[in-house]
Amino acid sequence: MNRRHVRGWLLLLLLPLAVLSSWLLIAERQPLVSRSESIAASSIADARQLLASHHPSRLQRGEERTALIPAGLIDTAINHFASRSLGGRGAFVVAGGCGELRLSVPLHALSETRYLNLSAVVAAADGRPRIAAASLAALPVPAWLAEVIASTVIRVAGMAEQWQVAERAIRRVDFDAGSGNVVVHYVWQPELLEQARSLAITPADTASLKTAQTALAGLLDHRAGAASVPLAQVLTPLLRSCIDRSPRCGRAALLVLAAHVSGNSLSQVVPDARRWPRPRRVKLSLHGRHDSAQHFVVSAALAAWAGEPAANAIGLDKEMRDASGGSGFSFADLAADRAGSRFGELVAAGSPRLQVALQRPLSDGDLAPSLTGLPEGLSAAELERRFATPDSVNYSQMTAEIERRLGAMSLYR
């Protein structure tokens, strides 16, 4: 055996050792970020207020605006992304005129779970956000290399065009530790809205939405507009016609149905929907209630598209607003929200349990628990008097009762 062959065999033997050594260097036993994936209703309120202040319908091309984005909202968004896309956790804080991003991604190997921990400090350089420092586990990563890696990830994820549009629109970014905001000075470009749509709704999604809306139109075509139809009588055949194709088509069916029960048009997010068959306006009910059907279907669509934590937070935010000036806080609505969130997750996951259940006619009782005895119509003052805050014992007892009812159902057990 000549010297070249010896070196070759030596390299083959050393390669596994090198991989193992690298693994031990970057994989840590403890996560840098440890938190739940839940989303606070306050984050939904912050997002709603930010959107109201910078709604595209109120902006003109070239108009200069300044957005004050709460660091807590960015923190929630990053953790939500890490949970949904990476199976990990994320965090973001503003301190010392910089923003600090942290990520922990679980790695399952060597018969134990270890974590890939990343951190990056982002500072404003000439008004542009730039990575000032970064680390992978205990290993420092040069800022220039971190920038290259970030650019590569954006390109591989297919977001290069969207990122370029955003960079052209943003004039300056500042990290204000005093107010806890990320201050973004931007010039409105309508292309930003189109790019956001292309990220949220892919061409494959559009095809699935068209299929689902055509199916819904066919199901409702023979229904009388004034009659109230049990939700299960429409949801079951609609999902049967879609879910066998793919979970993508199933969640499209939920979004189409959510637009229908809320009286909205999909054309707001998919302009081509103006040319699709229009379903007849028919009232759907859940346990005899139209509002419960709305809560269930909208939460199901939100969970299928954005995850159950987001759906639950949006549902709670709505109930808190209702307590302050609407129909009042309703634990019955919250139960319909929770059931819808569970159902939406089953659809998005292509659950075999759901596919089996759809082989027979479902009833409203298969979709949502009994709403009997759950307090409703609570004003803000009465809600505070009887249940204090969502962290109180009385409130927790009510939500535990809702979870108990859900847990007793075969679909959600």
Supply the pLDDT for residue 230: 92
Please indicate, yes or no, whether residues 159 and 230 belong to a single structural domain of this protein: no
Q: What is the 3-state secondary structure (H, E, C) of 256-321?
A: HHHHHHCCCCHHHCCHHHHHCCCCCCCEEEECCEHHHHHHHHHHHHHHHHHCHHHHHHHHHHHHHH
**Mean local confidence (pLDDT), 374-399:** 85
Q: Lowest mean pLDDT of 22-26, 90-94, 155-159, name the range.
A: 22-26
Computed over every residue of the chain, the mean pLDDT equals: 85
> Which residues is 135 bridged to in the sheet?
119, 140
Contact (CB, 8 A) for 276 and 260: no
Is 69 a residue whose pLDDT tops 50? yes
Please indicate, yes or no, whether residues 126 and 141 belong to a single structural domain of this protein: yes
Contact (CB, 8 A) for 257 and 297: yes
Among the three residues 150, 182, 198, which one is the final residue of a domain in this structure?
Answer: 198
Please indicate, yes or no, whether residues 320 and 211 belong to a single structural domain of this protein: yes
In terms of average pLDDT, the best of 113-117, 204-208, 370-374 is 370-374
Residue 18 lies in a domain: no
Please indicate, yes or no, whether residues 277 and 260 belong to a single structural domain of this protein: yes
**Mean local confidence (pLDDT), 245-257:** 84
Please indicate, yes or no, whether residues 292 and 217 belong to a single structural domain of this protein: yes
**Which of 361, 350, 369, 374 lies closest to 410, judged by CA?**
369
Residue 299 lies in a domain: yes
Residue 5 lies in a domain: no
- Return the higher-pLDDT residue of 268 and 336: 336
pLDDT band at 243 (very low <50, low <70, confident <90, very high): low
Residue 69 lies in a domain: yes
Q: What is the pLDDT of residues 336-381, one digit of tens each?
A: 999 999 999 999 888 889 988 998 888 999 999 999 999 988 888 8
Percent of the chain with pLDDT over 90: 39
Distance, in Å, from the CA atom of 275 to the CA atom of 373, rounded to the nearest integer, reads 45
Please indicate, yes or no, whether residues 188 and 233 belong to a single structural domain of this protein: no
Q: Write the DSSP assignment of 231-253 as a string of letters.
A: HHHHHHHHHHHHHTT-HHHHHHH
Domain containing 106: what range?
A: 27-198
Residue 346 lies in a domain: yes
Supply the pLDDT for residue 184: 93
Residue 384 lies in a domain: yes
Name the pTM for this structure.
0.80
Q: How many CB atoms lie within 10 A of CB 109?
A: 9
Number of domains in the chain: 2
